[in-house]
């Protein structure tokens, strides 16, 4: 079996319009993450919050190349300068400045911290991990 690349996933008609989010892990295997309606409500609240920031754009379901494969942030904020430098490519080769992950009941804090570390390693300045009640934990890069 060959290793999937993100371009393969995007080009595969059978993987279009799925009722759940998919990601590729470091081995090129698809991981599925079904989202609840509560997840969607929290996601839209964070889209509205980040839209208030000037000088950038909000991206939902933002695909980012990480050392663990392609990961998809629920919401991201990218500055105009970073967007101009990277262009609109899929996946982004560098993380937006802010990546937001909304915890599902099946997620653990250990998983979320691991995912946050991938985004930070890929250039995010902050990762917001949000519980379904809307409370957030902000994870910054480690201090040098």
Query: Vertex 106, ends 105 and 109: CA angle to 5°?
Result: 85
Each of the 144 residues of the chain gets a pLDDT tens digit; together they read: 567 777 777 777 777 666 567 777 778 777 766 667 888 899 999 999 999 999 999 999 999 999 999 999 999 999 999 999 999 999 999 999 999 999 987 788 999 999 999 999 999 999 999 998 888 999 999 887
Residue spans per domain, the chain: 35-139
Query: How is domain 35-139 classified at the architecture level of CATH?
Result: Alpha-Beta Complex (3.90)
pTM, two decimals, is: 0.80
DSSP symbols for 107-140: --HHHHHHHHHHHHHTT-SEEEEE-TTS-EEEEP
């Amino acid at each position: 079996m060959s290793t999937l690349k993100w371009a393969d996933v995007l080009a595969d008609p059978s993987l279009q319009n799925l009722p759940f989010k998919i990601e590729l892990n470091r081995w090129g295997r698809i991981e599925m993450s079904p989202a609840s309606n509560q997840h969607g409500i929290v996601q839209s609240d964070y889209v509205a919050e980040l839209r208030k920031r000037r000088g950038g754009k909000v991206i939902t379901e933002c695909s980012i190349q990480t050392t663990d494969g392609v990961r998809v942030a629920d919401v991201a904020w990218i500055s105009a300068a970073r967007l101009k430098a990277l262009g609109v490519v899929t996946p982004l080769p560098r993380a937006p400045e802010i990546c937001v992950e909304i915890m599902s009941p099946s997620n653990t804090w250990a998983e979320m911290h691991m995912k946050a570390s991938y985004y930070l390693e890929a250039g995010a300045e902050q990762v917001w991990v949000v519980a379904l009640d809307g409370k957030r934990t902000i994870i910054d890069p480690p201090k040098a």
